[in-house]
C-alpha cells in the first residue's frame, strides 16, 4: 500500500530566508503562497512544505522539526565539504563532539546533521551495507573506523 513519503513540513520564521536556504541545498522550488512554500525533494514524488508562523518557536525534539534527506554513501563522504561550500555548518549529533558523518552499524545507515536558519534539524542519510558479523555494534562509528573495520573483516 505505502509507496514512499509524499510530503513533510517544517515551521519557519522568515519564508524568504528559508526559500533561499533550501534553494542552496539544491531542492527545486515548486510553489508558494503568502505564508507557505514547497520544494521538491524528489520531483514528482516527494516535497517539503515550509510554513511561516510562530510555530518555529516550538522546542526541538527528534519527533518534531526534523527531516532526513537520502543521499548516497559516496555523497555522505563529501558532505562536510559540500555543506561548508554552501556556507552551512554541520553540527554534532546527540552527545558526539565530532561534526563528521558517522555510521550506525546496527541500523545499517550513516548520517551527518546540520540546522536550517530556524533551528530545524536536517540530516543527510544513507543506507550502508553492513556485514552480518558487525550488525551487533550499537556505537556510532566514524566513516573511517567503519570502513577499516569492514576491510579487516573482508581480509
User: What are the residue numbers of the active site?
Assistant: 123
Q: What is the CA radius of gyration of the chain?
A: 17
Pairwise CA distance, residues 118 & 16, whole Å: 12
Q: Exposed, middle or buried: residue 119 (CB in 10 Å: 0-12, 13-18, 19+)?
A: middle
Phi, psi of 78 (to 5 degrees): -100, 5
Q: Exposed, middle or buried: residue 120 (CB in 10 Å: 0-12, 13-18, 19+)?
A: buried
Amino acid at each position: 500500500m505505502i509507496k514512499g513519503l509524499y510530503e513533510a513540513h517544517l515551521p519557519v520564521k522568515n519564508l524568504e530566508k528559508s526559500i533561499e536556504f533550501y534553494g542552496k541545498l539544491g531542492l527545486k522550488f515548486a510553489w508558494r503562497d503568502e505564508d507557505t512554500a514547497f520544494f521538491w525533494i524528489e520531483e514528482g514524488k516527494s516535497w517539503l512544505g515550509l510554513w511561516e508562523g510562530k510555530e518555529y518557536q516550538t522546542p526541538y525534539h527528534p519527533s518534531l522539526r526534523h527531516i532526513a534527506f537520502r543521499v548516497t554513501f559516496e555523497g555522505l563522504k563529501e558532505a562536510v565539504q559540500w555543506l561548508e561550500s554552501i556556507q552551512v555548518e554541520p553540527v554534532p549529533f546527540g552527545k558526539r563532539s565530532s561534526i563528521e558523518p558517522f555510521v550506525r552499524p546496527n541500523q545499517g545507515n550513516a548520517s551527518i546533521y546540520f540546522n536550517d536558519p530556524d533551528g530545524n534539524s536536517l540530516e543527510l542519510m544513507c543506507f550502508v551495507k553492513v556485514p552480518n558479523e558487525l550488525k551487533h555494534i550499537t556505537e556510532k562509528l566514524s566513516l573511517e573506523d567503519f570502513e577499516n573495520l569492514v576491510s579487516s573483516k573482508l581480509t
